[in-house]
Amino acid sequence: MTDTSGHRIALTIHTTNIQDWDGAPLVFARLHWEAPKLCHVFADGGYAGPKLRDALVGIGRWTMQVVKRSDTAKGFEVLPLRWVVERTFA
């Protein structure tokens, strides 16, 4: 994970056969250790749903804001906060 200026706070490397949402708890565990005061995370739509939310319960006290693209959008559309998500996972 990175802060809004692009500096890495936590990083975990895993094999390519692990889906992002399955590998995310490993990153969050590291993030909790590296930045224990951090509690709010922006994520893209791939991280929505109860699976990741339930996996994070034992790791720390997180609030997650999923930034989704509008269903009516066509082509490129600038979304508020989306650049933060894209920069974090780039």
Q: Please state, as a whole number, how many other Cβ atoms lie within 10 Å of the Cβ of residue 52.
A: 20
pLDDT, tens only, 10-29: 778 888 898 878 888 888 88
- As a whole-number percent, the residues of the chain with pLDDT over 70 amount to 77
Q: Residue 31 has what pLDDT?
A: 85
pTM, whole model, 2 decimals? 0.64
User: Which strand (E) or helix (H) includes residue 20?
Assistant: helix 20-34
Give the single-character DSSP code of 3.
-
Q: Report if residue 32 sits inside a domain.
A: yes
Give the count of domains, the chain: 1
Q: Report if residue 39 sits inside a domain.
A: yes
Question: Would the pLDDT of 1 be above 70?
Answer: no
Q: What is the domain range of residue 39?
A: 20-68+75-89
Q: Report if residue 24 sits inside a domain.
A: yes
Q: Report if residue 13 sits inside a domain.
A: no
Split at pLDDT 50, 70, 90, the class of 50 is confident
Q: Report if residue 1 sits inside a domain.
A: no
Q: Report if residue 15 sits inside a domain.
A: no
